[in-house]
């Protein structure tokens, strides 16, 4: 569908106004909201994620594309069922207790939403009990934990330990990320995956739920 391809290509430029126009035009032409979401917008953000991972796109460009996607999704929302809008599952995401960094986490949140996940962004300085409650309340498939300080990395381990003690560990996949975090630390604390950036976090979340 050339209309969908044009949406995808325009999304990569970050031109939100044009993406919104094309989205409305595709609806007017009789394409379904689900088709436009999956084959036009999400397909575009998958490319954005891959380009971010490879260093071809940088954070300001990624943010522009994600914001353009958000504007288009607002047009589609009234026509999408909850199931269509969050076909990828539910992710609870937050920065661990003691850590107040949120820019990277918010970018991950935008990329996850752009990939079709329902995202519950809890914010920063979140203690383990709050994460546990959010997993229960939202029937979460994935918990994504962020830490930007070496001093708050142990709180990731404590959060995972608390989730194990709550009996929820088998019901949720846990992703970790942040500047000082790496794959070996993720393995050490029993996480299901580690992502170095927002693009790879989104890809990894899809792979874990496939």
pLDDT tens-digit series, residues 26-73: 999 999 999 999 999 999 999 999 999 899 999 899 999 999 999 999
Given a contact cutoff of 8 angstroms between Cβ atoms, the answer to whether 159 and 191 are in contact is no
For residues 90 and 21, give the distance between their C-alpha atoms in angstroms, rounded to a whole number: 29
Q: Identify the domain boundary among 84, 100, 131.
A: 84
For residues 52 and 108, give the distance between their C-alpha atoms in angstroms, rounded to a whole number: 12
Q: Taking 70 as the threshold, does the pLDDT of residue 83 lie above it?
A: no
Residues 61 and 97 in one domain: no
Domain housing 69: 2-84
Residues 132 and 154 in one domain: yes
Contacts of 41 (CB under 8 A, 6+ apart): 7, 8, 11, 19, 23, 69, 72, 73, 114
Share the mean pLDDT of the chain.
Answer: 93
**pLDDT > 90: what percent of the chain?**
85
Residues 53 and 130 in one domain: no
Q: Taking 70 as the threshold, does the pLDDT of residue 81 lie above it?
A: yes
Q: Identify the domain boundary among 22, 53, 84.
A: 84
Residues 31 and 66 in one domain: yes
Q: Note the pLDDT tens digit of each residue in 193-205.
A: 999 998 899 899 9
Residues 111 and 177 in one domain: yes
- Residue range 124-151: average pLDDT? 97
Q: Taking 80 as the threshold, does the pLDDT of residue 2 lie above it?
A: no
User: CB-hemisphere CA count at 13 Å for 44?
Assistant: 32
Q: Note the pLDDT tens digit of each residue in 90-118.
A: 999 999 999 999 988 999 999 998 888 99
Question: CATH no. for residue 152?
Answer: 3.40.50.280
**pLDDT > 70: what percent of the chain?**
96
């Amino acid at each position: 569908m050339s209309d969908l391809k044009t949406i995808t290509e325009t999304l990569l430029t970050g031109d939100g106004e044009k993406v919104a126009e094309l989205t409305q035009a595709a609806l007017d032409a009789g394409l379904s909201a689900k088709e436009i979401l999956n084959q036009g917008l999400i397909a575009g953000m998958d490319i954005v994620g891959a380009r971010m991972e490879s260093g071809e796109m940088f954070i300001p460009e990624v943010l522009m594309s994600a914001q353009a996607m958000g504007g288009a999704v607002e047009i589609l929302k009234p026509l999408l069922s909850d199931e269509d809008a969050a076909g990828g599952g539910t992710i609870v995401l937050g920065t661990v207790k003691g850590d107040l960094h949120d820019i990277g986490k918010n970018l991950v949140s935008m990329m996850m939403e752009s990939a079709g996940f329902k995202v519950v962004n809890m914010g920063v300085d979140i203690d383990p009990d709050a994460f546990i409650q959010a997993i229960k309340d939202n029937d979460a498939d994935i918990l994504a934990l962020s830490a930007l300080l070496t001093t708050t990395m142990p709180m990731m381990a404590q959060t995972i330990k608390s989730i194990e003690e709550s009996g929820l560990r088998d019901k949720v996949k846990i992703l970790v990320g942040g500047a000082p975090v790496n794959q070996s630390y993720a393995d050490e604390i029993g996480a299901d995956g580690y992502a170095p950036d927002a693009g790879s976090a989104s890809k990894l979340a899809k792979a874990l739920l496939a």
